Structure 1
Amino acid sequence: EKFLSLAVGAVRELALFLGTLLYAYAEAAVRLLLPARRKAVGGELVLLTGAGRGLGRATAREFARRQSRLVLWDVDTHGLRETAEECERLGATVHTFVVDCSKREEIYSAAEKTTRAFLPAMMDNNRGHIVTVASAAGHFVTSFMVAYCSSKFAAVGFHKALTEELSTLGKNGIKTTCVCPVFMNTGFVKNPRTRLGRILEVDEVVKEMMEGILTNKKMVFVPPQLSIALFTDMLIPERVSRFLKKLTDVKFDAIVGHWSKQ
Protein backbone atom coordinates (compact mmCIF):
# COMPACT_ATOMS: atom_id res chain seq x y z
CA GLU A 1 0.00 0.00 0.00
CA LYS A 2 2.84 2.38 0.85
CA PHE A 3 4.56 1.53 -2.44
CA LEU A 4 1.34 2.18 -4.36
CA SER A 5 0.94 5.54 -2.64
CA LEU A 6 4.50 6.54 -3.57
CA ALA A 7 3.97 5.45 -7.17
CA VAL A 8 0.76 7.49 -7.47
CA GLY A 9 2.55 10.52 -6.01
CA ALA A 10 5.42 10.13 -8.46
CA VAL A 11 3.02 9.87 -11.41
CA ARG A 12 1.15 12.95 -10.23
CA GLU A 13 4.39 14.94 -9.92
CA LEU A 14 5.53 13.78 -13.38
CA ALA A 15 2.20 14.83 -14.89
CA LEU A 16 2.48 18.21 -13.18
CA PHE A 17 6.03 18.64 -14.49
CA LEU A 18 5.04 17.79 -18.06
CA GLY A 19 2.06 20.12 -17.89
CA THR A 20 4.24 22.95 -16.60
CA LEU A 21 6.81 22.25 -19.33
CA LEU A 22 4.21 22.36 -22.11
CA TYR A 23 2.65 25.52 -20.69
CA ALA A 24 6.05 27.22 -20.47
CA TYR A 25 6.89 26.39 -24.11
CA ALA A 26 3.48 27.61 -25.26
CA GLU A 27 3.92 30.82 -23.27
CA ALA A 28 7.37 31.37 -24.80
CA ALA A 29 5.98 30.81 -28.30
CA VAL A 30 3.22 33.38 -27.73
CA ARG A 31 5.76 35.91 -26.48
CA LEU A 32 7.79 35.46 -29.65
CA LEU A 33 4.75 36.18 -31.79
CA LEU A 34 3.28 39.09 -29.82
CA PRO A 35 5.01 42.43 -29.19
CA ALA A 36 6.37 42.74 -25.68
CA ARG A 37 4.33 44.88 -23.31
CA ARG A 38 6.37 47.78 -21.92
CA LYS A 39 5.71 49.27 -18.51
CA ALA A 40 5.58 53.00 -17.84
CA VAL A 41 8.23 54.51 -15.56
CA GLY A 42 7.06 58.12 -15.60
CA GLY A 43 7.01 59.49 -12.06
CA GLU A 44 8.74 56.40 -10.65
CA LEU A 45 11.71 56.86 -8.33
CA VAL A 46 14.89 55.57 -9.98
CA LEU A 47 18.17 55.27 -8.09
CA LEU A 48 21.28 55.04 -10.27
CA THR A 49 24.76 54.36 -8.96
CA GLY A 50 27.81 55.39 -10.98
CA ALA A 51 25.73 58.11 -12.64
CA GLY A 52 28.63 60.51 -13.16
CA ARG A 53 29.75 59.12 -16.50
CA GLY A 54 29.59 56.28 -19.02
CA LEU A 55 26.76 53.78 -18.78
CA GLY A 56 25.31 55.36 -15.63
CA ARG A 57 25.00 58.79 -17.24
CA ALA A 58 23.50 57.40 -20.44
CA THR A 59 20.97 55.39 -18.43
CA ALA A 60 20.03 58.45 -16.39
CA ARG A 61 19.28 60.33 -19.62
CA GLU A 62 16.97 57.56 -20.81
CA PHE A 63 14.97 57.58 -17.58
CA ALA A 64 14.91 61.40 -17.66
CA ARG A 65 13.35 61.29 -21.13
CA ARG A 66 10.64 59.09 -19.62
CA GLN A 67 10.08 61.65 -16.83
CA SER A 68 11.20 59.42 -13.98
CA ARG A 69 12.25 60.96 -10.66
CA LEU A 70 16.00 60.45 -10.45
CA VAL A 71 18.30 59.90 -7.49
CA LEU A 72 21.85 59.91 -8.80
CA TRP A 73 24.87 58.59 -6.90
CA ASP A 74 28.55 58.84 -7.78
CA VAL A 75 31.87 59.52 -6.11
CA ASP A 76 32.74 62.05 -8.85
CA THR A 77 31.18 65.39 -7.87
CA HIS A 78 31.87 67.11 -11.19
CA GLY A 79 30.56 64.26 -13.35
CA LEU A 80 27.50 63.90 -11.12
CA ARG A 81 26.65 67.59 -11.52
CA GLU A 82 26.98 67.38 -15.31
CA THR A 83 24.66 64.36 -15.46
CA ALA A 84 22.10 66.10 -13.25
CA GLU A 85 22.13 69.21 -15.45
CA GLU A 86 21.55 67.10 -18.58
CA CYS A 87 18.64 65.25 -16.98
CA GLU A 88 17.06 68.45 -15.66
CA ARG A 89 17.17 69.93 -19.16
CA LEU A 90 15.17 66.89 -20.26
CA GLY A 91 12.51 67.78 -17.68
CA ALA A 92 13.31 65.27 -14.94
CA THR A 93 13.35 65.91 -11.22
CA VAL A 94 16.86 65.09 -9.99
CA HIS A 95 18.48 64.64 -6.58
CA THR A 96 22.22 63.98 -6.38
CA PHE A 97 24.38 62.47 -3.64
CA VAL A 98 28.14 62.04 -3.62
CA VAL A 99 28.46 58.45 -2.46
CA ASP A 100 31.39 56.06 -2.40
CA CYS A 101 29.68 52.68 -2.79
CA SER A 102 32.71 50.93 -1.33
CA LYS A 103 31.87 52.55 2.04
CA ARG A 104 28.82 51.07 3.76
CA GLU A 105 28.23 54.06 6.03
CA GLU A 106 27.93 56.41 3.03
CA ILE A 107 25.38 54.11 1.40
CA TYR A 108 23.24 53.98 4.55
CA SER A 109 23.50 57.73 5.02
CA ALA A 110 22.39 58.46 1.46
CA ALA A 111 19.63 55.83 1.68
CA GLU A 112 18.26 57.49 4.81
CA LYS A 113 17.97 60.76 2.89
CA THR A 114 16.20 59.29 -0.20
CA THR A 115 14.56 55.93 -0.11
CA ARG A 116 15.00 54.80 3.56
CA ALA A 117 15.91 51.20 2.81
CA PHE A 118 15.83 49.67 -0.64
CA LEU A 119 14.90 46.00 -0.67
CA PRO A 120 12.95 45.95 2.65
CA ALA A 121 10.74 48.81 1.44
CA MET A 122 10.25 47.07 -1.91
CA MET A 123 9.30 43.85 -0.16
CA ASP A 124 6.79 45.60 2.08
CA ASN A 125 5.10 47.00 -1.04
CA ASN A 126 5.87 43.99 -3.26
CA ARG A 127 6.85 46.48 -5.96
CA GLY A 128 10.02 47.67 -7.65
CA HIS A 129 12.77 46.67 -10.04
CA ILE A 130 16.40 45.83 -9.23
CA VAL A 131 18.89 46.07 -12.11
CA THR A 132 22.34 44.50 -11.81
CA VAL A 133 24.90 45.74 -14.33
CA ALA A 134 27.31 42.86 -14.84
CA SER A 135 29.19 41.88 -18.01
CA ALA A 136 29.74 39.10 -20.49
CA ALA A 137 32.81 38.53 -18.26
CA GLY A 138 30.32 37.22 -15.70
CA HIS A 139 29.74 34.22 -17.99
CA PHE A 140 32.91 33.95 -20.09
CA VAL A 141 36.50 34.45 -18.95
CA THR A 142 39.31 36.50 -20.50
CA SER A 143 42.99 36.23 -19.69
CA PHE A 144 44.56 38.97 -17.53
CA MET A 145 41.17 39.92 -16.09
CA VAL A 146 40.94 37.54 -13.13
CA ALA A 147 39.73 40.14 -10.61
CA TYR A 148 37.26 41.70 -13.05
CA CYS A 149 35.80 38.37 -14.19
CA SER A 150 35.49 37.21 -10.58
CA SER A 151 33.56 40.33 -9.59
CA LYS A 152 31.22 39.98 -12.56
CA PHE A 153 30.57 36.29 -11.89
CA ALA A 154 29.65 37.40 -8.37
CA ALA A 155 27.27 40.04 -9.78
CA VAL A 156 25.53 37.45 -11.99
CA GLY A 157 25.32 35.06 -9.03
CA PHE A 158 23.84 37.80 -6.85
CA HIS A 159 21.17 38.49 -9.49
CA LYS A 160 20.23 34.82 -9.82
CA ALA A 161 20.18 34.17 -6.08
CA LEU A 162 18.16 37.32 -5.36
CA THR A 163 15.68 36.47 -8.13
CA GLU A 164 15.21 32.97 -6.72
CA GLU A 165 14.80 34.19 -3.15
CA LEU A 166 12.21 36.81 -4.10
CA SER A 167 10.26 34.14 -5.97
CA THR A 168 10.41 31.78 -2.98
CA LEU A 169 9.09 34.56 -0.74
CA GLY A 170 6.24 35.22 -3.17
CA LYS A 171 7.45 38.75 -3.97
CA ASN A 172 6.64 38.50 -7.65
CA GLY A 173 5.92 42.22 -7.88
CA ILE A 174 9.65 42.93 -7.54
CA LYS A 175 11.31 42.46 -10.91
CA THR A 176 15.00 41.80 -11.53
CA THR A 177 17.19 42.34 -14.58
CA CYS A 178 20.87 41.55 -15.14
CA VAL A 179 22.71 43.29 -18.00
CA CYS A 180 25.70 41.54 -19.57
CA PRO A 181 27.41 43.40 -22.44
CA VAL A 182 30.73 42.60 -24.11
CA PHE A 183 33.50 45.22 -24.22
CA MET A 184 32.16 48.78 -24.35
CA ASN A 185 33.93 51.89 -25.56
CA THR A 186 34.12 53.53 -22.13
CA GLY A 187 37.87 53.74 -21.57
CA PHE A 188 37.76 51.10 -18.83
CA VAL A 189 40.33 49.08 -20.75
CA LYS A 190 42.75 50.57 -23.24
CA ASN A 191 42.37 49.76 -26.92
CA PRO A 192 40.07 46.69 -26.74
CA ARG A 193 39.78 44.69 -29.93
CA THR A 194 38.56 41.32 -31.22
CA ARG A 195 38.52 39.45 -34.52
CA LEU A 196 34.88 38.45 -34.15
CA GLY A 197 32.18 40.96 -33.27
CA ARG A 198 32.98 44.55 -32.34
CA ILE A 199 33.40 46.92 -29.44
CA LEU A 200 30.04 48.34 -28.35
CA GLU A 201 29.11 51.98 -27.91
CA VAL A 202 27.46 52.96 -24.63
CA ASP A 203 24.21 54.16 -26.23
CA GLU A 204 23.49 50.82 -27.90
CA VAL A 205 24.02 48.98 -24.61
CA VAL A 206 21.65 51.40 -22.85
CA LYS A 207 19.05 50.85 -25.58
CA GLU A 208 19.08 47.08 -25.03
CA MET A 209 19.13 47.52 -21.26
CA MET A 210 16.12 49.85 -21.24
CA GLU A 211 14.19 47.42 -23.43
CA GLY A 212 14.99 44.65 -20.97
CA ILE A 213 13.93 46.74 -17.98
CA LEU A 214 10.68 47.94 -19.52
CA THR A 215 9.72 44.39 -20.55
CA ASN A 216 10.87 42.79 -17.25
CA LYS A 217 13.48 40.60 -18.92
CA LYS A 218 15.60 38.64 -16.45
CA MET A 219 18.89 38.47 -18.39
CA VAL A 220 19.94 40.95 -21.08
CA PHE A 221 22.89 39.95 -23.24
CA VAL A 222 24.41 42.58 -25.52
CA PRO A 223 24.66 41.50 -28.28
CA PRO A 224 21.79 38.99 -27.88
CA GLN A 225 23.67 36.13 -29.58
CA LEU A 226 25.82 35.85 -26.46
CA SER A 227 23.07 33.69 -25.00
CA ILE A 228 23.61 31.18 -27.83
CA ALA A 229 27.36 31.24 -27.24
CA LEU A 230 26.80 30.56 -23.54
CA PHE A 231 24.58 27.56 -24.31
CA THR A 232 27.07 26.23 -26.87
CA ASP A 233 29.98 26.63 -24.45
CA MET A 234 28.27 24.26 -22.01
CA LEU A 235 27.87 21.56 -24.69
CA ILE A 236 31.15 21.50 -26.57
CA PRO A 237 34.39 19.86 -25.31
CA GLU A 238 36.95 22.05 -23.58
CA ARG A 239 39.49 21.63 -26.39
CA VAL A 240 36.99 23.00 -28.92
CA SER A 241 36.05 25.84 -26.57
CA ARG A 242 39.70 26.86 -26.28
CA PHE A 243 40.07 26.79 -30.07
CA LEU A 244 37.04 29.04 -30.52
CA LYS A 245 38.39 31.50 -27.94
CA LYS A 246 41.62 31.72 -29.91
CA LEU A 247 39.59 32.53 -33.02
CA THR A 248 37.86 35.44 -31.28
CA ASP A 249 41.33 36.76 -30.32
CA VAL A 250 40.18 39.24 -27.64
CA LYS A 251 42.96 41.72 -26.89
CA PHE A 252 43.49 44.93 -24.98
CA ASP A 253 46.44 46.90 -23.68
CA ALA A 254 47.12 46.20 -20.01
CA ILE A 255 49.87 46.07 -17.44
CA VAL A 256 50.20 42.69 -15.74
CA GLY A 257 52.75 42.87 -12.93
CA HIS A 258 55.85 44.37 -14.51
CA TRP A 259 55.04 43.10 -17.96
CA SER A 260 53.11 44.88 -20.70
CA LYS A 261 50.70 42.49 -22.43
CA GLN A 262 48.94 43.03 -25.77
Structure 2
Amino acid sequence: MPRIGLCQIGSGDDPGANLKLVRTGVEAAKAENAQVVVFPEATMARFGRPLGPIAEPLDGPWATAVAELAAEHDVVVVAGMFTPAEDGRVRNTVLVTGGGHHLGYHKIHLYDAFGFAESDTVAPGGKPVTFDVDGTVLGVATCYDIRFPELFRALADDGADIVVVPTSWGAGEGKRDQWEVLVRARALDSGCWVLGCGQADPAASGLDVNPKAPTGIGYSTVSDGFGRVHTQLGAVPETVVVDLDPAVAAKARTATGALANRRL
Protein backbone atom coordinates (compact mmCIF):
# COMPACT_ATOMS: atom_id res chain seq x y z
CA MET A 1 0.00 0.00 0.00
CA PRO A 2 1.93 3.07 -1.21
CA ARG A 3 2.27 6.05 1.09
CA ILE A 4 2.36 9.16 -1.09
CA GLY A 5 3.13 12.76 -0.24
CA LEU A 6 1.57 15.62 -2.17
CA CYS A 7 3.56 18.86 -1.93
CA GLN A 8 1.44 21.81 -3.02
CA ILE A 9 4.06 24.52 -3.48
CA GLY A 10 4.29 27.91 -5.14
CA SER A 11 7.16 27.86 -7.61
CA GLY A 12 9.01 31.04 -8.48
CA ASP A 13 11.15 32.00 -11.46
CA ASP A 14 14.47 30.64 -10.13
CA PRO A 15 15.10 26.88 -10.54
CA GLY A 16 17.70 26.95 -7.76
CA ALA A 17 15.30 28.50 -5.27
CA ASN A 18 12.64 26.00 -6.31
CA LEU A 19 15.04 23.14 -5.53
CA LYS A 20 14.95 24.35 -1.92
CA LEU A 21 11.17 23.96 -1.97
CA VAL A 22 11.61 20.41 -3.25
CA ARG A 23 14.02 19.60 -0.43
CA THR A 24 11.67 21.01 2.18
CA GLY A 25 8.75 19.06 0.76
CA VAL A 26 10.66 15.80 0.54
CA GLU A 27 11.88 16.15 4.11
CA ALA A 28 8.35 16.86 5.38
CA ALA A 29 6.83 13.93 3.47
CA LYS A 30 9.62 11.54 4.46
CA ALA A 31 9.08 12.48 8.10
CA GLU A 32 5.66 10.87 7.67
CA ASN A 33 7.19 7.82 5.95
CA ALA A 34 6.14 8.68 2.41
CA GLN A 35 7.56 6.40 -0.31
CA VAL A 36 6.62 8.68 -3.22
CA VAL A 37 6.66 12.49 -3.07
CA VAL A 38 4.75 14.37 -5.76
CA PHE A 39 5.23 18.02 -6.70
CA PRO A 40 3.29 20.15 -9.22
CA GLU A 41 3.81 20.81 -12.88
CA ALA A 42 6.37 23.60 -13.41
CA THR A 43 8.12 22.90 -10.11
CA MET A 44 11.40 23.80 -11.82
CA ALA A 45 10.08 27.27 -12.71
CA ARG A 46 6.61 28.72 -12.93
CA PHE A 47 4.85 29.56 -16.15
CA GLY A 48 4.96 33.17 -17.32
CA ARG A 49 8.74 33.40 -17.68
CA PRO A 50 10.88 32.36 -20.69
CA LEU A 51 11.28 28.58 -20.51
CA GLY A 52 13.97 28.00 -23.14
CA PRO A 53 16.85 29.44 -21.10
CA ILE A 54 16.14 27.19 -18.11
CA ALA A 55 15.29 23.92 -19.90
CA GLU A 56 17.72 21.09 -19.16
CA PRO A 57 17.94 17.40 -20.13
CA LEU A 58 17.16 14.67 -17.62
CA ASP A 59 20.87 14.28 -16.93
CA GLY A 60 21.31 18.03 -16.37
CA PRO A 61 22.05 19.75 -13.07
CA TRP A 62 18.46 20.33 -11.92
CA ALA A 63 17.18 16.78 -12.46
CA THR A 64 20.43 15.38 -11.08
CA ALA A 65 19.99 17.43 -7.90
CA VAL A 66 16.46 16.08 -7.50
CA ALA A 67 17.75 12.53 -8.09
CA GLU A 68 20.36 13.00 -5.38
CA LEU A 69 17.69 14.28 -3.01
CA ALA A 70 15.50 11.26 -3.76
CA ALA A 71 18.41 8.90 -3.11
CA GLU A 72 19.33 10.71 0.12
CA HIS A 73 15.84 10.19 1.52
CA ASP A 74 15.08 6.84 -0.16
CA VAL A 75 11.95 8.05 -1.93
CA VAL A 76 10.66 8.43 -5.47
CA VAL A 77 10.23 12.09 -6.40
CA VAL A 78 7.80 13.21 -9.11
CA ALA A 79 8.19 16.84 -10.18
CA GLY A 80 7.46 19.04 -13.17
CA MET A 81 10.37 20.48 -15.14
CA PHE A 82 11.24 21.60 -18.68
CA THR A 83 13.55 19.75 -21.07
CA PRO A 84 14.79 20.85 -24.51
CA ALA A 85 12.87 19.70 -27.59
CA GLU A 86 14.45 19.01 -30.97
CA ASP A 87 12.61 21.85 -32.73
CA GLY A 88 13.83 24.63 -30.43
CA ARG A 89 10.81 24.56 -28.15
CA VAL A 90 10.86 22.84 -24.76
CA ARG A 91 8.97 19.85 -23.45
CA ASN A 92 6.77 20.06 -20.39
CA THR A 93 8.27 17.09 -18.57
CA VAL A 94 7.43 15.25 -15.37
CA LEU A 95 10.60 13.89 -13.82
CA VAL A 96 10.30 10.56 -12.00
CA THR A 97 13.44 9.77 -10.04
CA GLY A 98 14.46 7.50 -7.19
CA GLY A 99 13.83 3.87 -6.32
CA GLY A 100 15.74 2.71 -9.38
CA HIS A 101 13.91 5.11 -11.72
CA HIS A 102 15.13 8.17 -13.60
CA LEU A 103 12.80 9.01 -16.46
CA GLY A 104 10.54 11.67 -17.84
CA TYR A 105 6.95 11.87 -19.04
CA HIS A 106 6.50 14.55 -21.70
CA LYS A 107 3.06 16.17 -21.53
CA ILE A 108 0.95 14.92 -24.42
CA HIS A 109 -1.98 17.36 -24.44
CA LEU A 110 -0.88 21.00 -24.56
CA TYR A 111 -2.86 23.82 -23.02
CA ASP A 112 -4.06 25.70 -26.07
CA ALA A 113 -7.18 26.90 -24.34
CA PHE A 114 -8.71 29.79 -22.39
CA GLY A 115 -6.57 32.26 -24.33
CA PHE A 116 -3.23 30.56 -23.57
CA ALA A 117 -1.17 28.78 -26.26
CA GLU A 118 1.25 26.37 -24.60
CA SER A 119 2.20 24.91 -27.98
CA ASP A 120 3.86 28.19 -29.00
CA THR A 121 6.78 27.31 -26.73
CA VAL A 122 6.22 23.66 -25.78
CA ALA A 123 6.42 20.58 -28.01
CA PRO A 124 4.02 17.71 -27.24
CA GLY A 125 5.03 14.28 -26.05
CA GLY A 126 3.42 11.15 -27.42
CA LYS A 127 3.98 8.24 -25.06
CA PRO A 128 2.18 7.29 -21.82
CA VAL A 129 4.48 6.50 -18.91
CA THR A 130 4.12 4.19 -15.92
CA PHE A 131 6.50 3.21 -13.14
CA ASP A 132 6.51 0.64 -10.34
CA VAL A 133 6.84 1.17 -6.60
CA ASP A 134 6.95 -2.01 -4.51
CA GLY A 135 4.71 -3.86 -6.93
CA THR A 136 2.17 -1.06 -7.44
CA VAL A 137 2.07 0.55 -10.89
CA LEU A 138 1.66 4.32 -11.07
CA GLY A 139 0.86 6.30 -14.20
CA VAL A 140 1.70 9.92 -14.96
CA ALA A 141 -0.34 12.71 -16.54
CA THR A 142 -0.01 16.49 -16.42
CA CYS A 143 -2.56 19.25 -15.92
CA TYR A 144 -4.49 19.67 -19.21
CA ASP A 145 -4.12 15.93 -19.83
CA ILE A 146 -6.86 15.51 -17.26
CA ARG A 147 -9.46 16.62 -19.83
CA PHE A 148 -8.71 13.53 -21.94
CA PRO A 149 -10.10 10.25 -20.56
CA GLU A 150 -8.35 8.13 -23.20
CA LEU A 151 -4.97 8.71 -21.57
CA PHE A 152 -6.18 7.58 -18.15
CA ARG A 153 -7.78 4.47 -19.61
CA ALA A 154 -4.56 3.70 -21.47
CA LEU A 155 -2.62 4.02 -18.21
CA ALA A 156 -5.07 1.64 -16.53
CA ASP A 157 -4.65 -0.78 -19.44
CA ASP A 158 -0.89 -0.58 -18.79
CA GLY A 159 -1.47 -1.73 -15.23
CA ALA A 160 -1.73 1.55 -13.32
CA ASP A 161 -3.83 1.59 -10.15
CA ILE A 162 -2.74 5.13 -9.30
CA VAL A 163 -2.25 8.13 -11.61
CA VAL A 164 -0.34 11.17 -10.37
CA VAL A 165 -1.18 14.45 -12.08
CA PRO A 166 1.25 17.31 -11.43
CA THR A 167 -0.63 20.49 -12.33
CA SER A 168 -0.39 24.25 -12.62
CA TRP A 169 -4.06 25.05 -13.15
CA GLY A 170 -5.16 28.30 -14.70
CA ALA A 171 -7.28 30.60 -12.56
CA GLY A 172 -10.61 31.99 -13.69
CA GLU A 173 -14.35 31.75 -13.30
CA GLY A 174 -15.44 28.15 -12.80
CA LYS A 175 -11.92 26.75 -13.10
CA ARG A 176 -11.83 25.27 -9.59
CA ASP A 177 -15.15 23.53 -10.24
CA GLN A 178 -13.78 22.09 -13.48
CA TRP A 179 -10.65 20.87 -11.74
CA GLU A 180 -12.55 19.01 -9.04
CA VAL A 181 -14.99 17.45 -11.50
CA LEU A 182 -12.20 16.35 -13.84
CA VAL A 183 -10.11 14.67 -11.12
CA ARG A 184 -13.15 12.66 -10.01
CA ALA A 185 -14.29 11.91 -13.56
CA ARG A 186 -10.90 10.57 -14.67
CA ALA A 187 -10.83 8.37 -11.57
CA LEU A 188 -14.24 7.00 -12.51
CA ASP A 189 -13.25 6.54 -16.16
CA SER A 190 -10.18 4.48 -15.32
CA GLY A 191 -10.94 2.99 -11.92
CA CYS A 192 -7.63 4.44 -10.75
CA TRP A 193 -6.79 6.54 -7.78
CA VAL A 194 -6.14 10.00 -9.26
CA LEU A 195 -3.86 12.37 -7.35
CA GLY A 196 -3.92 15.91 -8.68
CA CYS A 197 -1.04 17.87 -7.16
CA GLY A 198 -1.32 21.54 -8.00
CA GLN A 199 0.65 24.72 -7.70
CA ALA A 200 -0.61 26.80 -4.79
CA ASP A 201 -2.58 29.94 -5.61
CA PRO A 202 -0.14 32.88 -5.66
CA ALA A 203 -2.94 35.29 -4.74
CA ALA A 204 -3.75 33.32 -1.58
CA SER A 205 -0.17 33.87 -0.41
CA GLY A 206 -0.16 37.56 -1.29
CA LEU A 207 2.10 37.09 -4.33
CA ASP A 208 1.81 38.73 -7.72
CA VAL A 209 -0.34 36.83 -10.21
CA ASN A 210 0.49 36.72 -13.90
CA PRO A 211 -2.97 36.98 -15.53
CA LYS A 212 -1.68 35.55 -18.82
CA ALA A 213 -0.17 32.31 -17.45
CA PRO A 214 -1.58 29.31 -15.56
CA THR A 215 0.22 29.67 -12.24
CA GLY A 216 -2.01 27.59 -10.00
CA ILE A 217 -5.12 27.68 -7.84
CA GLY A 218 -4.20 25.11 -5.19
CA TYR A 219 -6.88 22.57 -4.18
CA SER A 220 -4.78 19.48 -4.81
CA THR A 221 -7.27 16.62 -4.83
CA VAL A 222 -7.18 12.85 -4.38
CA SER A 223 -10.08 10.75 -5.70
CA ASP A 224 -10.61 7.01 -5.60
CA GLY A 225 -11.92 4.97 -8.53
CA PHE A 226 -15.50 5.43 -7.35
CA GLY A 227 -15.15 9.20 -7.80
CA ARG A 228 -15.08 9.87 -4.07
CA VAL A 229 -12.84 12.67 -2.80
CA HIS A 230 -10.36 11.15 -0.36
CA THR A 231 -8.31 14.28 0.37
CA GLN A 232 -8.32 17.90 -0.73
CA LEU A 233 -6.07 20.81 0.20
CA GLY A 234 -6.85 24.51 0.20
CA ALA A 235 -5.30 27.34 -1.79
CA VAL A 236 -2.02 27.93 0.06
CA PRO A 237 1.20 25.85 0.12
CA GLU A 238 0.77 22.63 2.10
CA THR A 239 2.02 19.05 2.24
CA VAL A 240 -0.18 16.02 2.92
CA VAL A 241 0.65 12.31 3.03
CA VAL A 242 -1.96 9.72 2.06
CA ASP A 243 -2.16 5.93 2.16
CA LEU A 244 -3.73 4.43 -0.96
CA ASP A 245 -4.96 0.86 -1.27
CA PRO A 246 -4.52 -0.45 -4.85
CA ALA A 247 -7.27 -3.01 -4.17
CA VAL A 248 -9.79 -0.17 -4.24
CA ALA A 249 -8.92 0.37 -7.91
CA ALA A 250 -9.71 -3.27 -8.72
CA LYS A 251 -13.00 -3.05 -6.82
CA ALA A 252 -13.96 0.14 -8.67
CA ARG A 253 -13.28 -1.36 -12.09
CA THR A 254 -15.28 -4.47 -11.27
CA ALA A 255 -18.21 -2.46 -9.92
CA THR A 256 -18.45 0.16 -12.68
CA GLY A 257 -17.37 -1.91 -15.67
CA ALA A 258 -15.90 1.29 -17.10
CA LEU A 259 -13.02 -0.53 -18.77
CA ALA A 260 -14.48 -3.98 -19.38
CA ASN A 261 -17.63 -2.67 -21.07
CA ARG A 262 -15.93 -0.33 -23.56
CA ARG A 263 -17.12 -0.66 -27.16
CA LEU A 264 -15.04 2.09 -28.81
TM range (shorter): 0.3 to 0.5
Q: TM-score by structure 2 length?
A: 0.34
Q: Which has the higher strand share?
A: 2
Larger radius of gyration: 1
Q: Which has the higher helix share?
A: 1
Q: Which structure would you say has the larger RCO, counting Cα contacts within 8 Å and 6 or more residues apart?
A: 2
